[in-house]
């Protein structure tokens, strides 16, 4: 029986993935796994019982990743689960950038008396805009969201260029051949009429849209940021808006410095706020966490490598360790000392850490615990977990 603790409102459709025969929800504060959305875990003390945290969303800034990694806690997110919701909001914002839709709606609300239709016809020239077709959109970051934005912007008649040195093979296959890949962010900035940012917030990407980068932007271009507020140097953006380098800035991240500016549209963090996105994220987070707890397999982790191996044998050891030499050999020696043969093994590393799955035949419980303790005693081993294949008796 596994125990799960949830924070925030996790969609019921996701929580149903945890069958009552094998899972208890919110029955303890010392769970095997956590599912959350925005709950801040930076001040939380994690027990040795906690094995994994699943974030129902893409960003994991509310989770202390390094601390979790050191404790052998696998952190998952749900890449792509809310991509369509964010994509639609970005496309809507592109339309808001070229047509004064909000201003027109607010103006019509001020009209009174008869012949409103005539007043509208007489004054509609005040709200003349332009069209997206034929303009160039530059997409910085071609992950799940960026790729979808690029494809649909092309379908709206835009010329689309994209920059992402780390685009995955799966995403690359999904991007239309009509989207031109460029080799530098500078090429995006200097040639695009509209620029949209879709990269994760890392130390290397914080304030990536800097004063230096903004100086390269095509005169009176439009900047959209629906990824993370900290990706732009906001003071530099404001300066570029004031001096006319930027025509306008549209974002999903509110800041008091932006509220009174006429050439800024600030939305109240609506990116993934659709019923469908919340359900998709909850389903994906729950499914990923359940898959890990029951098989040891890791997918969509932000701190450990992807490791998948079919569970065909009675017992599996899931081992997290520092990525140093001779670790797999020492695990094998620990098993050999007890006369246990390895029938299947997979080891992968990610940075300073590694993850190993070892399948073995059935052995007595006491002997199994001795083996676990033996492996745990090896310097550099962070955690050892036993997974029993209940389909094999």
Residues classed as catalytic:
228, 256, 269
Torsion of CA 366, 368, 370, 373, to 10 degrees: -130
- Exposure string (b/e) for 79-90, b if CB count within 10 Å is 16 or more? bbbbbbbbbbbb
- Exposure string (b/e) for 199-222, b if CB count within 10 Å is 16 or more? bbbeeebeebbeeebbeebbeebb
CA 61 to chain centre: 10
The tokens describing 146, both together, are 């960026």
Torsion of CA 86, 90, 93, 97, to 10 degrees: 160
Taking the CA atoms of the chain, what radius of gyration do you get in angstroms?
Answer: 26
Q: Are strands 353-360 and 342-350 parallel, antiparallel or unpaired?
A: antiparallel
CA distances from residue 86 to 92, 93, 212, 272 in whole angstroms, order as listed? 10, 10, 28, 6
149-155, long-range: CB < 8 A, 24+ apart: 149/87, 149/90, 149/91, 149/196, 149/198, 150/175, 150/176, 150/179, 151/175, 151/176, 151/179, 152/87, 152/91, 153/91, 153/94, 154/178, 154/179
CA angle (254, 259, 263) in 5-degree steps: 105
- Exposure string (b/e) for 134-173, b if CB count within 10 Å is 16 or more? ebbbbbbbbbbbbbbbbbbbbeeebbbbbbbeebeeebee
Helix, strand, coil proportions of the chain in percent (round to 5)? Answer: 35, 20, 45
């Amino acid at each position: 029986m596994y125990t799960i603790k949830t924070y925030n409102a996790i969609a019921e459709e996701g929580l149903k993935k945890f069958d009552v025969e094998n899972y208890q929800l919110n029955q303890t504060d010392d769970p095997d796994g956590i599912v959350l959305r925005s709950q801040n875990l930076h001040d939380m003390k994690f027990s040795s019982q906690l094995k994994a945290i699943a974030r129902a969303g893409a960003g994991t800034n509310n989770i202390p990743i390094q601390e979790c990694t050191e404790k052998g806690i696998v952190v998952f997110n749900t890449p792509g689960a809310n991509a369509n919701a964010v994509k639609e909001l970005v496309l809507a914002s592109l339309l808001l950038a070229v047509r004064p839709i909000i201003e027109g709606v607010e103006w019509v609300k001020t009209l009174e008396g008869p012949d409103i239709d005539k007043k509208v016809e007489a004054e509609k020239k005040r709200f003349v805009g332009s069209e997206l077709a034929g303009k160039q959109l530059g997409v910085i970051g071609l992950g799940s969201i960026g790729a979808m934005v690029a494809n649909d912007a092309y379908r709206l008649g835009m010329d689309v260029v994209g920059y992402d040195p780390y685009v995955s093979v799966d995403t690359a296959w999904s991007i239309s051949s009509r989207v031109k890949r460029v080799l530098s962010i500078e090429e995006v900035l200097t040639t695009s009429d509209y620029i949209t940012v879709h990269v994760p917030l890392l130390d290397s990407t914080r304030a990536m849209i800097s004063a230096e980068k903004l100086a390269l932007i095509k005169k009176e271009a439009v900047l959209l940021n629906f990824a993370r507020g900290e990706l732009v140097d906001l003071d530099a953006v404001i300066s570029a808006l004031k001096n006319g380098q930027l025509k306008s800035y549209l974002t999903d991240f509110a800041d008091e410095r932006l509220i009174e500016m006429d050439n800024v549209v600030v939305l109240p963090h609506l990116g993934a706020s659709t019923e469908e996105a919340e359900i998709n994220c909850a389903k994906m987070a729950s499914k990923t966490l359940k898959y890990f707890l029951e098989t040891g397999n890791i997918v969509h982790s932000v701190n450990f490598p992807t490791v998948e191996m079919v569970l065909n044998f009675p017992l599996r050891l899931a081992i997290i360790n520092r990525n140093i030499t001779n670790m797999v050999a020492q695990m094998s020696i620990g098993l050999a000392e007890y006369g246990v043969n390895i029938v299947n093994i997979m080891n992968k590393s990610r940075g300073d850490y590694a993850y190993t799955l070892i399948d073995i035949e059935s052995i007595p419980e006491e002997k199994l615990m001795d083996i676990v303790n033996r492996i745990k005693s090896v310097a550099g081993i962070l955690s050892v977990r036993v997974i029993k294949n209940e389909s094999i008796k």
